[in-house]
Structures are given as structure tokens and as C-alpha cells.
Amino acid sequence: MTLSQIEIDTFLDRQNNVPIFEHPQYPVPRTNHEYTKLLAMFRSGFVFSNRDLLHAIGCKTAALPMNDQDEAIRSAYVFLHLLDIDAPTLRFRDVHIDSDLARVRSQQIGIGMMCLIASRAFGVDWDQLSDIPAPGKRFDYRGPIPGNKRGIFEAKGTGDPYHQGSQILDGREKKEAHHKRNEHYDVELIVATYVGVGDDNPRIIVADPQFSINESMFGPRAEKYYRLRHFTRVLQFLALPSLSRLYYAHANEVLRGWPSMYRRLPPQLPTLEMLRIDKTEFVGRWFDRWLPPDSFRYKRLYERERTLLTSELNFRSFQGIARSSFDYLLKESPEEIKFMSWEECQKYKGINGGTRASVFPDTTVLAFEVI
């Protein structure tokens, strides 16, 4: 399938308005003012662009590195193969997708959707919205909320609308596990996203069963730990696994309270490419494939999914970060990175030739361009 730049940008810039419903048995509390913006979305729906959703998926689901060569899948890239660009809303293309793979891709959309809702409805800083490490039966993500409040979020995604009910129940069981450990939060939200298939429209169901968070997730080391963990994934988003690995190791040191062995010269890095948007310079990489080359980790996955890519699309994606932020990452000073508001992100419109891009508060960027 051959696409023009206008067709790609039209799809990516399309504003979806997905209705949000609350589970009738587990409604969100009306007396907790932290839920005010979410309650408003019950009337207006959740509005987001495809570009922002793919950006969120690309950076928030990037796999943590197992070694210095362990690049992550370019998830944002692969979804342009899977989503129906002609549909008026968020839907999968009418292609055969293995059930296991459909579940994985639907879950990734669910994570991206949950992260956008948590950030926009509850004001969770983008770098602090991070997955909760194993072990134990637990929610997926946590994040501090303005006003010294704390939130925990469970992300679900499915291509079958009848699975949303069981997903909510699974989230309820996780809440009960937290409750039995005497762990309490100000916001405890389950977000289940159904991705449209065929003529069905997507929908989001949220639930907040009453339950009573692990104190270590909001303790004195938490902010530094989760910022490091966030930028571990950002560096995977940039396809820099060796540097990502250092951040991953340092995050674990911070969590355990070990003496830091993190300070060291940065590893030898590949040459990065530059992209200028307005007056800001971004560094990163252009990708014309979704899997890292010669990856042993993803070899079996490629064998299972390559049938979806028999007709290669004629585009490439740029995944990067503002040069000033990257300089701080090289100096191992992520705390110096100046985050933006979502409103400030909107000032970044076009790049070379009018191609549009998505910029997020952590100054990461995602752009697609016809080859």
C-alpha cells in the first residue's frame, strides 16, 4: 500500500473522540475532586489524535534493555500497518491477525490510552507515569498527582468488546491484592479500551472499585527512580540500548538504596540524525522498519507477524528528543531536563516540507515521512 505524505498526516492528525463509560458496579467517586476532569469526559468523550496515541505507545511500551545491544521494537511504526487509516475512528485494518498478537497490540493501545488519560485528566507528570515493577499482583502504572496526591492505574486493551467486563474484574482482583497488603491510594483507576474492529466503534470503560500502594512507590527515592526508569524507555525509543542499559542499572540502584556505580563515561554511541521543528533541534533516528535488524530477541515475533507486512508501506518514522534534553541525558542529569505543558507542546507543528510531528512534555518527538 502506497501512501502520500498528506494521507499519512491526515490520518495521524485526525482527532478521535472515543466515548468513556463507567462500569455500573464500580463507578468513580463523585466526592473525590481528583476525578473532576475524568467526569467531564463522560459527557464530552476522550479526544486525542492518532499521532499522540502512537507517540505514547512508542515510548511507554518500549522494552527495558536486557543487554547493550537490545533495541526495542518501533511500536509506533508498526501500528501504521495495523490501524485502518480510512476509518473515521480508531479501528484495526481488516487483516488477519493472530489472536495472541492481536491481544498484545490491543494491550499496547490500552496502555497508550491509559497514559494519555492519566496525564490529561489527573495531571500526572509524563516522566513519573511509569510501570510498577514486579513481583506481586499489582496495578500497571503509578504516578503522583498535583496536591501531594497519589494515583495507581491499570491499563487494559482488547479487540473484543465482550472482554472488557472480565478485564475490569481482573483489575478489581488486583485492587483487592493491594488492599490485603494495606496499600492505599487517592486515585485507583482501571481503564479498559476496546479498539474498533470492522464497523464497530471503539469505547473506553473506566472503573474504580473501592479498595484501599506500596509506600516505596511514593517514598523519598521514588521521583528519581521513576524519572530514570522513564528515560530508560526514552533511550530505547531512540534505539540507544547501551545508554538505556546504564539508566536501567542506575534506577535499580536508586530503588534498592545501593551506592551508585552509575557515574562512568557514556558508551560509544551511533551517530544520531537531526530534525528541526520551528526553532528547536531534535536528535534521534529515522527508521524504515519496525523490528531491530538481526534481533535474536524478536526473531520469532518477526516470523509470526511478517505476513502483515508483505506489502511494505512507503514511509519512515523519526523518533527523537530535543538536543538540549539529550545533552542532559549524556551528562547523566535527567533532572535538569525542562518539561513542557501539553499546551506548550502544541506550538510544534511542521518540519521539512510541511510534515507534521508530535512533541510530548518530556521533549520526545515522533514524525512520519513518505520515503
Kindly list the distances between the CA atom of residue 150 and the CA atoms of 118, 142, 168, 171, in Å, as whole numbers in the listed order: 12, 8, 21, 18
Cβ contact 139:153 at 8 Å: yes
What average pLDDT does the chain have? 84
Instruction: Dump pLDDT digits (tens) for 332-347.
Output: 899 999 999 999 998 8
- Give first-to-last CA distance, the chain, whole Å: 13
Tens digit of each residue's pLDDT (9 = 90 or more) over 38-58: 999 999 999 999 999 999 999
Q: Please give the backbone phi and psi of residue 176, each rounded to the nearest 5 degrees, phi first.
A: -65, -35
d(CA 17, CA 202): 9
Q: Which residue has the higher pLDDT, 127 or 313?
A: 127
Locate the domains of the chain by residue range. 5-370
pTM for this prediction: 0.71
Rounded CA-CA distance 279/299 in Å is: 40
Any idea which of 133-137, 203-207, 209-213 has the lowest mean pLDDT?
209-213
Per-residue confidence (pLDDT) for residue 264, from 0 to 100: 61
Beta strands in 175-333 (DSSP E): 187-194, 203-207, 273-277, 280-287, 315-322
Share of residues in the chain with pLDDT > 90 (%): 42
Q: Is residue 232 scored above 80 in pLDDT? A: yes
The three grid cell numbers given for residue 252, joined into one nine-digit string: 535499580
Strand order across the 20-22 sheet: 20-22, 203-207, 187-194, 149-158, 141-145, 130-131
Closest CA to 189 of 165, 166, 211, 214: 211
Name the helix (H) or strand (E) containing 101: helix 99-122
Backbone angles phi, psi at 197, to 5 degrees: -135, 135
Write the pLDDT tens digit of every residue in 275-296. 988 889 999 999 887 777 666 6
Report pLDDT for 92: 87
Whether the pLDDT of residue 360 is over 60: the answer is yes
